[in-house]
Amino acid sequence: MILLYAKSKNGLLVFDNQKEARDYLLSVENKPLVVRIHRETGVRTPDQNSALHLYFNHLAIALNEAGLTVQKVVQKKIELDWTPLLIKEILWRDIQIRLFGKESTKDLDKISEITLVYETLTRHLGEKFGFENPAFPNDPNKIKN
């Protein structure tokens, strides 16, 4: 069995490797061909990944400026300032595991699951600390730090 990877664009299949696809299709010309559609739901685009990590940075800065250290927010014994990595590991990952049972941020659905984790974190920080969560970046390529 040969696997050819493609995306659907305007109702057409656009193959990742055009030459490989053309060569294969020419080799099976006039023979039956079965196409199996598989949708990847948990794969983020590079822009979505950049936006997620930019948000971690924005939240770390905002929590630090508000004086809400790691110890105050999650009851840890050591007083630490927030970093993007601590945001991801302590706050974000804990929520995503509890909501979806997914360990890696790479496994989250592009929009719906990321949005729900963000909204849950926003609600928690607002209710518990009166903290206004930074907006989630829409275009990480236009917004730096």
Question: pLDDT tens digits, residue range 93-140?
Answer: 999 999 999 998 888 887 889 999 999 999 999 999 999 999 998 876
State the CB neighbour count (10 A cutoff) for residue 67.
9
Q: How confident is the model at residue 143 (pLDDT cuts 50, 70, 90)?
A: low
**Per the structure, how many domains does the chain have?**
2
Regarding whether 32 and 97 lie in a shared domain, the answer is no
CA-CA distance, 92 to 64, in Å (whole number)?
A: 16
Name the pTM for this structure.
0.57
Regarding whether 123 and 52 lie in a shared domain, the answer is yes
- Asked, for residue 144, whether it belongs to a domain, the answer is no
Chain mean pLDDT for the chain: 85
Looking at the predicted structure, is the pLDDT value of residue 5 above 90?
no
- Asked, for residue 103, whether it belongs to a domain, the answer is yes
- Asked, for residue 69, whether it belongs to a domain, the answer is yes
Regarding whether 116 and 52 lie in a shared domain, the answer is yes
- Asked, for residue 145, whether it belongs to a domain, the answer is no
Regarding whether 101 and 118 lie in a shared domain, the answer is yes
**Angle subtended at Cα 112 by Cα 88 and Cα 51, rounded to the nearest 5 degrees:** 45
Q: Is 6 left (phi over 0), alpha (psi -120 to 50) or beta?
A: beta
- Identify the domain containing residue 20 by its residue range: 1-38
- Asked, for residue 91, whether it belongs to a domain, the answer is yes
Regarding whether 81 and 27 lie in a shared domain, the answer is no
